[in-house]
Amino acid sequence: MKLAQLSESSGASTATIKYYLREALLRPGDRVHTTQMHYDEHHLPRLRLIRALTDVGGLSIEMVRDVLTARETPDLTPGELVSACHVAPACCGTASEHGADHAAAMSEIVALAHRQGWRVSYDTPAVVTAAGALDALRSLGQAGTREHIDAYAQAAETVTAADLRTTRATTSQAIKALVVTSVLGDVLLSALRRLAQIHHLHDEAPARITALSNSAPGQ
């Protein structure tokens, strides 16, 4: 198909597609004429994946590149697997150590993981990120008790088990699928949390938010 058709089928503008081509996220089409390229059946699904990861998943172009690389490596090494699983806009960006006691939070996250039966080590990027979030919550006086963080770990276990049940095929396929599921699953989970919050706050404060479903934002 031509560039214009690829644009129409994917919903991405031709300028966006050209940008992905320049960034080598999409491989070039076959030249069929001095000024015309032909894009085949492999371009469209790949373009849809890139759009889902950027538009829905909120990933940067560099993060998309990491996800695509992980999916295409025939046999992932341990290091590549760990990297691929850590691609997420909200996860493992800047390891933050602003809070009151980052070292204590690190120990608590490792202890939490052990209570769940997860084998993790101190140098796993997600441990640093989780500790940063816990430390920040505490330094702001927002809970972070053992009961509180255990509930988070339980929720993480619930969604991971569900992800693995539905993506299980071969191990290699499961790992590659999980990279994408993780990104979009974070968005789904974040949004569902907001729905649960709205519901519970409605129960808590009926007088305050009775008109919740009817009112326009900002009124």
Site for a copy of itself in 44-73 (CB under 8 A): 48-49, 51-52, 55-58
Stretch 146-165 residues interacting with a copy of itself (CB under 8 A) = 147-149, 151-165
Task: Compute the half-sphere exposure of residue 155: CA atoms within 13 Å on the CB side of its CA.
Answer: 12
- In order of 6, 82, 105, 207, the CA distances from 218 in angstroms are 40, 43, 38, 17
Name the residue nearer to a copy of itself (CB basis): 35 or 216.
216
- Check residue 101 for interaction with a copy of itself (CB under 8 A): no
Q: Specify which residues 37 forms β-bridges with.
A: 31
Task: Compute the half-sphere exposure of residue 166: CA atoms within 13 Å on the CB side of its CA.
Answer: 10
Stretch 193-212 residues interacting with a copy of itself (CB under 8 A) = 193-202, 204-205, 208-212
- Check residue 103 for interaction with a copy of itself (CB under 8 A): no
Name the residue nearer to a copy of itself (CB basis): 24 or 198.
198
Whether the CB-CB separation of 50 and 11 falls below 8 Å is answered with no
Smallest gap from residue 40 Cβ to a copy of itself (A): 19
Name the residue nearer to a copy of itself (CB basis): 31 or 146.
146
Instruction: From 46, 53, 2, 43, select the one nearest 180 (Cα to Cα).
Output: 53
Whether the CB-CB separation of 54 and 89 falls below 8 Å is answered with no
Stretch 130-149 residues interacting with a copy of itself (CB under 8 A) = 130, 132-134, 136-137, 139-140, 142-145, 147-149
Name the residue nearer to a copy of itself (CB basis): 1 or 209.
209
Name the residue nearer to a copy of itself (CB basis): 32 or 164.
164
d(C-alpha 40, C-alpha 179), whole Å:
25
